[in-house]
């Protein structure tokens, strides 16, 4: 039976928690081969590379929350062992990223206990860590979660959001985690941690960095709460729409992509159009971003020929108006997720 579903009652800017996965979401970790995997513990902080755009994004999320008088916290949940904690913390310091907490996975304990399956299984670990941290946040705090398409972040975060919202009762938690193959001890722990949490629709958005370029259609069943993005400029655009960033911050992220990763104004423009087409941005937001970025010289200048006569933002507006009319502007919330079907589909697709 579902518990009460409500948005937290908030006076003034609501507190917000930004939780980040580390590998493939913050760090461009390469562990496609055993050789790369073995290399990771020996990497120095300066050898580790952040995903383009993520550093200015996190910095702006914090600084703009402070400007708005909002209590904003940044947490990292890493599946890396604590043995490499120092290198990761040094890397975050090197990037100038401030955070309120970071969790590492005790892989040594799993080895000692002979739980080798737990070394690669992340759902039980991350879900229990998220549930464990929740009571330390203000009761009305909303959460924005950041992960990637490499492993199971979409399922973990959606499950967590639905447990908080009371969309999944305790009996169901066990059933779902058993299908996934989570360690029974972690299932029991997740149930215990979920028990005292008051039902609150706290997870506002889940951003999935499409590091593997997983087709976006695969995420449709997760509903509008989950936004798959191909780069952090797209993420910044959505965070602007949700009121967590201003346009200057979006431009800062975009400029970082241009300066550090060879993005061109044309490719930024294509990225913006893509996220709008996938209906994660409404038209008003899209036009606002286009106009501002054009003014800052970050969207392409018209090339030679007739199109020079019209400023780019007007062309984008014309394009938006010329598109086939839709009944809804952005994606609408879907009915509750059927995790049994979703997990089966996810496994089949991977």
Dig out the tokens for 300 from the structure. 């392409």
Q: How far is the CB of 327 from another protein (least distance, A)?
A: 12
Q: How far is the CB of 30 from another protein (least distance, A)?
A: 18
Pick the closer one to another protein by CB: 192 or 264: 264
Residues engaged in binding another protein (CB under 8 A) = 213-217, 230-231, 263, 266-271, 273-275, 277-278, 303-307, 319, 322-324
Pick the closer one to another protein by CB: 74 or 272: 272
Backbone dihedral region for residue 311 (phi beyond 0: left; psi -120 to 50: alpha; all else: beta): beta
CA–chain centroid gap for 13, Å, is 21
Pick the closer one to another protein by CB: 9 or 262: 262
Pick the closer one to another protein by CB: 242 or 274: 274
The count of other CB atoms within 10 Å of the CB of residue 153 is 25
Q: Is the dihedral of CA 130, 134, 136, 140 positive or negative?
A: positive
Q: How far is the CB of 28 from another protein (least distance, A)?
A: 16
Tell me the backbone φ, ψ of residue 269, rounded to 5 degrees: -60, -40
The DSSP 8-state label assigned to residue 155 in this structure reads: H
Q: Number of H helices and number of E strands within the chain?
A: 15, 6
Q: How far is the CB of 342 from another protein (least distance, A)?
A: 17
Tell me the backbone φ, ψ of residue 160, rounded to 5 degrees: -60, -45
Q: How far is the CB of 336 from another protein (least distance, A)?
A: 23
Pick the closer one to another protein by CB: 89 or 267: 267
Q: How far apart are CA 20 and CA 22, in angstroms?
A: 6
Pick the closer one to another protein by CB: 116 or 319: 319
Q: How far is the CB of 146 from another protein (least distance, A)?
A: 19
- Residue 28: burial class (beta carbons within 10 Å; 0-12, 13-18, 19+): middle
Q: How far apart are CA 126 and CA 44, in angstroms?
A: 25
Q: How far is the CB of 256 from another protein (least distance, A)?
A: 15
Q: How far is the CB of 134 from another protein (least distance, A)?
A: 33
Q: Is 17 helix (H, G, I), strand (E, B) or coil?
A: strand
Mode of pairing for the β-strands spanning 142-148 and 203-209: parallel
Q: How far apart are CA 91 and CA 112, in angstroms?
A: 29
Pick the closer one to another protein by CB: 8 or 300: 300
Contact present, 252 and 188 (Cβ < 8 Å)? no
Pick the closer one to another protein by CB: 124 or 154: 154
Contact present, 149 and 209 (Cβ < 8 Å)? yes
């Amino acid at each position: 039976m579902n518990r009460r579903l409500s948005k937290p009652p908030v006076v003034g800017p609501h507190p917000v928690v930004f939780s980040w996965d580390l590998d493939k979401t913050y760090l461009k970790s390469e562990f496609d081969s055993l050789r790369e995997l073995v290399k990771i513990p020996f990497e120095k902080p300066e050898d580790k590379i952040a995903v383009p755009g993520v550093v200015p994004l996190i910095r702006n999320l914090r600084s703009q929350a402070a400007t708005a008088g909002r209590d904003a916290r940044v947490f990292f949940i890493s599946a890396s062992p604590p043995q490499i904690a120092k290198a990761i913390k040094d890397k975050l310091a090197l990037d100038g990223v401030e955070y309120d907490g970071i969790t590492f996975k005790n892989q040594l304990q799993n080895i000692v206990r002979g739980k080798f399956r737990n070394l690669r299984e992340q759902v039980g670990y991350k879900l229990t860590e998220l549930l464990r941290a929740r009571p330390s946040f203000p009761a009305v705090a909303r959460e924005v979660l950041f992960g990637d398409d490499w492993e199971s972040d979409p399922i973990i975060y959606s499950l967590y959001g639905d447990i908080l919202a009371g969309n999944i009762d305790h009996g169901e938690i066990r059933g779902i985690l058993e299908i996934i193959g989570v360690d029974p001890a972690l299932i029991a722990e997740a149930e215990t941690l979920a028990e005292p949490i008051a039902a609150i629709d706290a997870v506002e958005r889940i951003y999935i960095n499409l590091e593997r370029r997983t087709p976006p259609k695969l995420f449709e069943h997760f509903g509008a709460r989950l936004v798959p993005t191909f780069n952090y400029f797209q993420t910044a655009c959505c965070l602007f729409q949700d009121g967590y960033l201003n346009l200057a911050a979006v431009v800062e992220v975009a400029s970082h992509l241009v300066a550090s990763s060879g993005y061109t104004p044309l490719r930024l423009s294509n990225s913006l159009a893509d996220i709008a087409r996938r209906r994660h941005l409404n038209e008003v937001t899209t036009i606002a971003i286009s106009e501002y970025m054009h003014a800052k010289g970050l969207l392409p200048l018209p090339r030679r020929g007739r199109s020079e006569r019209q400023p780019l933002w007007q062309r984008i507006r014309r394009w938006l108006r010329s598109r086939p009319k839709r009944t809804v502007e952005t994606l609408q919330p879907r009915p509750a997720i059927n995790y049994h079907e979703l997990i089966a589909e996810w496994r089949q697709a991977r």
